[in-house]
A = this chain, B = another copy of it.
Amino acid sequence: MIGKSVPRVDAYEKVTGRAKFTDDMILDKCLVAKVCHATIGNGIVKSIDTSEAEALDGVVKVVTFKDVPNHCYPTPGHPWSVELAHQDVADRNLLTGRVRYYGDDIAAVVAEDEVTASRALKLIKVEYEEYPVVLSPRLSMRGSEHPIHLDKKDNILARSSFAIGDVDKGLEDAAVQIHRSYKTPIVQHCHIENNISYAYMEKGRIVVVSSTQIPHIVRRVVGQALGIPWGQVRVIKPYVGGGFGNKQEVLYEPLNAFLTMQVGGRPVKIELTREETFTNTRTRHSIEYEMTAGVDQEGHLLAKEMITYSNQGAYASHGHAIAANGLTASRLQYACPNIRGEAYTVYTNCPTAGAMRGYGIPQVCYATESFMDDIAYEIGMDPLEFRRKNLIHGYYEDAYLKPIAANSNGIFECLDKGAAYIHWDEKRKAYADQTGDIRRGVGMALFSYKTGVWPISLEIAGARLSLNQDGSVQLQVGATEIGQGADTVFSQMAAETLHMDISRVHIVTMQDTDVTPFDTGAYASRQSFVTGTAVKECAQLLKQRILDYARTLVPGNVDRLELEDGYILADGRQAISLEELAMESYYSLGNSSVLTAEVSRQVKKNTVATGCCFAEVEVDMKLGKIKVLDIVNVHDSGILLNPQLAAMQVHGGMSMGMGCGLSEQLLLDEKTGRPLNGTLLDYKLMTTMDTPDLTAEFVELNDPMGPYGNKALGEPPAIPGAPAIRNAVLHATGIGFAEIPLTPQRLIDGFTKAGLI
């Protein structure tokens, strides 16, 4: 079943609209909560008067920052750890009187219906004392009179650095030394389903139903935020309408849990609007890079340095992990004897940045791959040739985080495929030295991406299988289907190892922390690798139990029992069907015992996926418009579990990468920090009209670490698109832009400055 493009197991439910998402599951008489957001970007609440709101008919409860537990909790969807150094930063209460960004949560209203809740919000009277707003990390780290968080006087959440070899010496020895700056924008995930949850109490415990990627982590964080034992919390995850990392964070679930407790356990719903999703959830980090490199005469990298300033926004969220992930990536893939990296993650008064598909790698890939093209341009070398010269062949491993290694490395095959597809050599030549208003170019970028979070964080996954009476199996995992096809590939895995058709595997889609095996959830492109390992072991265990039970049923002396296509083979002959065996296991008066298997497995391995993007663009110099004529992603993600699903993953990621490169950016008012385009009307997400045909190609190397030869594919597709397009524009126009997205304004400014228009 592995490697086959079987249809998604949830296809019919989703196409017919029957799949139950969080809002579909709410029973009657659910109260509605709305959050009162600050209307300043930095400062404190001097006074808050909720009396008029409380007096409004239909308002059940109003709470302010004064009413919530006064202890901090962490929000990111990390696995947690018993070691303090591996725990996340806890820097927020449920509500706050210290406003750290425009829209910060200062109060909440619970009402009988949504209209009443919204009206009540307007009746809350707030007086503020305002502080100056700082949106730039490099400005913010100079410090301010009122640090954003008291324990970080210089507003620096964290810094880290590393050095390999002697970079200064390397730069000295270099034939050419180059320095460039790059910057990426704040972008938003724009999942179809806004963040939503509802909560109620049951047997003295709190139940939270949430559109989340990480139900087991939500359970933990709700416990932490409320200061109650984690076993008192139950979290249920229905179908999810996209997450992209924004639902790998515990945002309003703790407040929701708190609110139901405040109204005696009645069900309370918090459904964010699209505007709130833009402002009050999480964004991709805007990161600034200072890059320096030296190359020798032949174009070999002798030294490189990267200094990173990551704009964290108002709260720690995933914090420095994003910038640190970029530092790690900067050490991989390219051979360079001297490498230095330094990263700062800085609190600002921007909306909080968190996890988003690629987790810092789209940003660092943008900087690194733009820089690679800029160096090649500088030394007059074909940028693909320049990369081939510097890329490591075959195995490599990270110098610091030992298990992170390219256990299979198909980057050269990827580059060959991409170059052939785009007709690299012809077009690089054909498009050289263009003039005129319309110019074309081809560009490319490549990346590497690790699979899962080990050894930086814990990797653990669980799976449970049980044999039904008809020889089919129930499969339960704590890992989550969030639209990416996880349920389908887990079902394929179980079917593969149990040698049965996928129609015989019934996967339980809904996670419920009361009954679901423990797994940390959907992030870091980990599930098919980490959870896949657990599913495989669980299936092997069930298979062994089936064969052990078969031995009690198959007569005679049999050497070898096998499970194949729903039959037990005894020395190669069909001895008994799996259905007959299952019926015996349930209903034999002599020897019945239902066959089940469960594993909870720590996975201490990692492997690096790789790939590249090649794009051809047409630039209208006077309109400042880029048209992507053709674009291809080529991925080495090991063996494809389901080629069609894999292609769909790549298509979605490519669209995201193009958006980041061409049009997406959340703009903030410089003075107040207020989002200027926090709606889907104003925020320029790629539409089908903006998107050319997308091509996904693959190099399938069997990775020895992957449970089925597979490695990361969930996030990588979103990584290389933006720099590939940026580099194609460089090829077309000779202008290497430092900052994305490449909006018409930015292009016109750049071309004007360069005297091209």
Contacts and interface: CB of A to CB of B under 8 A. Distances in A.
A468 B223 CA distance: 12
A698 B602 CA distance: 51
Interface stretch (A202-210, A320-328, A618-626, A727-735): A202-210
Interface string A204-244: 11000000000000001001000001111000000000000
A69 B444 CA distance: 62
Given A80-B587, A202-B13, A602-B591, A508 B504 contact: no
B587 A231 contact: no
28 contacts: A9-B203, A10-B203, A13-B202, A18-B265, A20-B27, A25-B27, A27-B27, A81-B587, A81-B589, A82-B589, A86-B589, A220-B469, A223-B470, A231-B468, A231-B473, A231-B504, A458-B588, A460-B593, A462-B594, A476-B515, A506-B514, A508-B515, A515-B515, A518-B586, A518-B594, A592-B602, A593-B600, A595-B600
Interface of A: 9-10, 12-13, 18, 20, 24-25, 27, 79-83, 86, 202-205, 220, 223, 229-232, 265, 455, 458, 460, 462, 466, 468-474, 476, 504, 506, 508-509, 514-515, 517-518, 583-584, 586-589, 591-596, 598, 600-602
A360 to B, nearest CB: 22
B594 A596 contact: no
B472 A231 contact: yes
B594 A458 contact: no
B18 A594 contact: no
A669 to B, nearest CB: 41
A230 B468 contact: yes
A589 B589 CA distance: 45
A83 B583 CA distance: 11
A82 B594 contact: no
Nearest to A9: B203
A229 B600 CA distance: 30
Given A231-B504, A474-B515, A508-B515, A593 B587 contact: no
Nearest to A602: B592
A588 B80 CA distance: 9
A220 B504 CA distance: 17
A468 B515 CA distance: 11
A18 B30 CA distance: 13
> A25, A458, A509 — which one has the most chain B CB atoms within 10 A of its CB?
A458
Nearest to A461: B594
A83 B476 CA distance: 31
Contacts of A598: 596, 598
Contacts of A584: 82
A600 B467 CA distance: 12
Contacts of A204: 12
A25 B223 CA distance: 27
A232 B468 CA distance: 10
Q: Which of the listed residues A81, A205, A592 has the most CB atoms from chain B within 10 Å of its own CB?
A: A592
A587 B458 contact: yes
Contact of A506 (B205, B508, B596): B205
Contacts of A27: 20, 24-25, 27
Contacts of A593: 460, 600-602
Contacts of A18: 202, 265
A592 B458 contact: yes
Given A86-B589, A586-B460, A514 B508 contact: yes
A548 to B, nearest CB: 14
Nearest to A475: B514
A130 B472 CA distance: 46
Most interface-central of A12, A223, A460, A601 (chain B CB within 10 A): A460
Given A205-B506, A589-B83, A594 B460 contact: yes
A25 B25 CA distance: 9
Nearest to A81: B587
A517 B583 CA distance: 16
A726 B733 CA distance: 106
A530 to B, nearest CB: 12
A451 to B, nearest CB: 18
A474 to B, nearest CB: 6
A311 to B, nearest CB: 30
A517 B230 CA distance: 24
Contacts of A20: 27
A231 B506 contact: yes
Given A18-B202, A602-B593, A583 B82 contact: yes
Contacts of A591: 602
A657 to B, nearest CB: 32
Given A12-B204, A586-B460, A231 B594 contact: no
Nearest to A507: B203
Contacts of A509: 203
A82 B588 CA distance: 6
Nearest to A468: B231
A489 to B, nearest CB: 16
A559 to B, nearest CB: 27
Contacts of A472: 229, 231-232
A598 B25 CA distance: 30
Contacts of A600: 593-596
Contacts of A86: 589
Which 4 A-B pairs have CB atoms at the shortest separation, nearest pair first?
A231-B472, A231-B468, A229-B470, A594-B600
A458 B509 CA distance: 32
A634 to B, nearest CB: 34
Given A229-B472, A231-B470, A504-B231, A203 B602 contact: no
The interface centre, meaning the residue of A13, A231, A509, A591 with most chain B CB atoms within 10 A of its CB, is A231
Contacts of A471: 231
B458 A589 contact: yes
A595 to B, nearest CB: 8
A182 to B, nearest CB: 34
Contacts of A514: 474, 506, 508
Given A203-B506, A518-B586, 20 more contacts: A12-B204, A80-B587, A82-B583, A205-B506, A229-B470, A229-B472, A231-B473, A231-B474, A460-B592, A460-B594, A476-B515, A515-B515, A517-B594, A517-B596, A518-B594, A591-B602, A593-B600, A593-B602, A596-B600, A598-B598
Contacts of A24: 27
Contacts of A473: 231
Interface centre among A12, A13, A82 (most CB of B within 10 A): A82
B203 A587 contact: no
A18 to B, nearest CB: 7
A694 to B, nearest CB: 29
A132 to B, nearest CB: 41
Contacts of A13: 202-203
A203 B462 contact: no
A334 to B, nearest CB: 30
Contacts of A506: 203, 205, 231, 514
A162 B504 CA distance: 47
